[in-house]
Amino acid sequence: MTKDLADPGTKRDKAVAQRRRTILDAAMLCFIENGYHQTGVRDIAKRAGVSLGNLYNHFPGKHDVLAEIAALERAELTPFLDLLAGSDAPAKTIDDFVAAYAAYLGKPENVILTIELTSEAIRKPDIGELFVANRRDLTAALASVLRQGMSNGDFRTSLDPDASAQMIIELVEAAAFRAVLSKTTVASKLAGLTDFLHAAIRS
């Protein structure tokens, strides 16, 4: 009997979560195609195939949709955080991270969405802090790998691991963005980026 009572709640929770994700996916597609400011809640509802009232049941407004997207970004960063955690080969881990992160960022839809959301995050401090917190965690994980490499002799001991981690992330982002802008592949820029990083951080 307990199981029967629990099942409807579980199914309902799953249905609510699925509906919220459908709305978020629709919002991100609208932002990519039309821009954040050119997208209204009606556009999102139409793209998601839900009524405006149903959308408001899940998100009071577009600002709340954006906050939820920041949470989704955190989930998408989890594989990179896992890659950087507990590494026993820091030099290889850095190379693997750079290649994986560049491939992720180098998708045109990710570049467009990042630019759209970053511009809005600058205008809205509460939204900005969510994205900054995501970046802070990624930077800290990368800095930890750098410290380990400095300790075992893989990397220069003169490095500032926190500043270097931030710089590595920014270089990967810039390379991915340039690749999309110039309609080339991230792979075409990866070798040069990796060589530069090797010269900059390896002992």
Q: DSSP string of 126-152?
A: HHHHHHHHHHHHHHHHHHHHHHHHHHH
Residue 1 has pLDDT above 70, yes or no: no
- pLDDT score at 171: 93
Contact status, residue 159 vs residue 196, Cβ threshold 8 Å: no
Domains of the chain: 1-60 (1.10.10.60), 66-203 (1.10.357.10)
Mapped onto helix, strand or coil, the DSSP state of residue 86 is: coil
Q: pLDDT, tens digit, for every residue of 70-124?
A: 888 888 899 999 999 977 899 999 999 999 999 888 888 888 888 888 888 888 8
What is the mean pLDDT of the segment spanning 55-84? 89
> In sequence order, what are the residues at sequence separation of 6 or more whose Cβ sits closer than 8 angstroms to the Cβ of residue 112?
31, 32
Q: How far apart are CA 12 and CA 147, in angstroms?
A: 46
- pLDDT score at 9: 61
Q: pLDDT, tens digit, for every residue of 145-168?
A: 999 999 999 999 999 999 999 999
Residue of 21, 18, 44 lying closest to 36 (CA atoms): 44
- pLDDT score at 7: 46
The model's confidence at residue 169, banded by pLDDT at 50, 70 and 90, is very high
- pLDDT score at 202: 93
Q: pLDDT, tens digit, for every residue of 7-52?
A: 446 887 788 889 999 999 999 999 889 988 889 999 999 999 999 9
> In sequence order, what are the residues at sequence separation of 6 or more whose Cβ sits closer than 8 angstroms to the Cβ of residue 139?
162, 165, 166, 169
Mapped onto helix, strand or coil, the DSSP state of residue 157 is: coil
Q: How far apart are CA 38 and CA 34, in angstroms?
A: 6
